[in-house]
Amino acid sequence: MFLALLSYIGIIVGFIFLTLAIAAGLYYLSELVEEHSRFTKRLLEKLIYCIIATHVLLLVFDHFPFWLTLFSIGTQVVYYQNLKQFPFIQLSSGVFISSCVLVLLNHYFWFQHFSRPSIPPPTLRSSPLYEPPSAFPSFSEVSSFFGICVWLVPFSLFVSLSAGDNVLPSTVESTNGFGSGMGDGERAGTATLRKGQGMAKVVIGKVQEGVAEVARVIGWGDDPRSGSGRIV
């Protein structure tokens, strides 16, 4: 009886640590993107090319559905359009909104496809080289396909996005001649302000602030009104 209760506690603690590990990884990736934005853009471009090539190989060798594969390739092309202004992407732009819609549609269509047992198509069963597959693809096959071909690029774009509220149009100001009389110290200060934060970093920061506020309310955190760091 107590062992079963202990197992539930262990699952909850493990889930909490897993969530913290994922959050720490996202925060670290956001830091890397902010420091190496050009390299990240080139990496995302190569990644999109590789995924398009993977779709073509799956179509040729595993006889994936033609129109669904063509739709997925089209979604990758739309994702690529977000890289033109990378990392300063407008969240209200039509390309970004279309990308969000296509992520959901692409996931739904492929989920429906893998829910059917006819993989590969029945027309190949007459071939002497045909080996009957299992009724459903294995979990590792489906999860690998979704992780690489469906989720990888949107997730990478999400981590690489800059929060619109934290980005100032430094390029526009420089082209219009503003700030020409500014000193080195002022330029350094404005450069610091113009540096955007990754969206994942902003989200994690908001979550950290919320957790700290809840901890302070219930008496587990430091009182910000007290300079001594006394536990309330």
Residues 87-121: tens digit of each pLDDT: 677 777 888 899 999 999 999 999 988 887 555 55
Residue 27 has a pLDDT of 73
Residue 188 has a pLDDT of 44
Residue 136 has a pLDDT of 67
- Phi/psi at 92 (nearest 5 deg)? -95, 5
Domain that holds residue 55: 37-121+135-162
Q: Which residue has the higher pLDDT, 90 or 56?
A: 56
Say how far apart CA 170 and CA 152 lie, in whole Å.
Answer: 30
Say how far apart CA 209 and CA 201 lie, in whole Å.
Answer: 12
What is the rounded average pLDDT for all residues in the chain?
A: 73
Residue 28 has a pLDDT of 75
Residue 224 has a pLDDT of 52
What residue type is 35 in one-letter code? E
Q: Which residue has the higher pLDDT, 86 or 143?
A: 143
Q: How far is CA 7 from the centre of its chain?
A: 32
Tell me: pLDDT of 177 over 60. Answer: no
Whether 69 is in a domain gets the answer: yes
- Which residue, 76, 18, 22, is CA-closest to 44? 76
Whether 12 is in a domain gets the answer: no
Tell me which residue has tokens 């079963």.
4
Number of domains in the chain: 1
Whether 10 is in a domain gets the answer: no
Average pLDDT over residues 195-208: 61
Give Cβ neighbours of residue 168 (< 8 Å, ≥ 6 apart).
190, 193, 194
26-40, 69-83, 139-153, 157-171: segment of lowest average pLDDT = 157-171
Write out the two tokens for 60: 């040729």
Q: pLDDT-derived band of residue 148, with 50, 70 and 90 as boundaries?
A: very high
132, with CB counted inside 10 A (0-12, 13-18, 19+), is exposed
Whether 103 is in a domain gets the answer: yes
Residues in the chain: 232
Average pLDDT over residues 119-146: 66
Q: pLDDT-derived band of residue 230, with 50, 70 and 90 as boundaries?
A: very low
Q: Which residue has the higher pLDDT, 61 or 132?
A: 61
Residue 186 has a pLDDT of 45
Residue 101 has a pLDDT of 94
Q: What ranges in 115-183 are assigned the alpha helix state H?
A: 139-145, 152-160, 170-176
Give Cβ neighbours of residue 6 (< 8 Å, ≥ 6 apart).
none
Whether 230 is in a domain gets the answer: no
Residue 181 has a pLDDT of 46
Whether 214 is in a domain gets the answer: no
Residue 80 has a pLDDT of 92
Whether 17 is in a domain gets the answer: no
CA-based radius of gyration for the chain: 24
Say how far apart CA 176 and CA 75 lie, in whole Å.
Answer: 36
Whether 116 is in a domain gets the answer: yes
What residue type is 143 in one-letter code? S
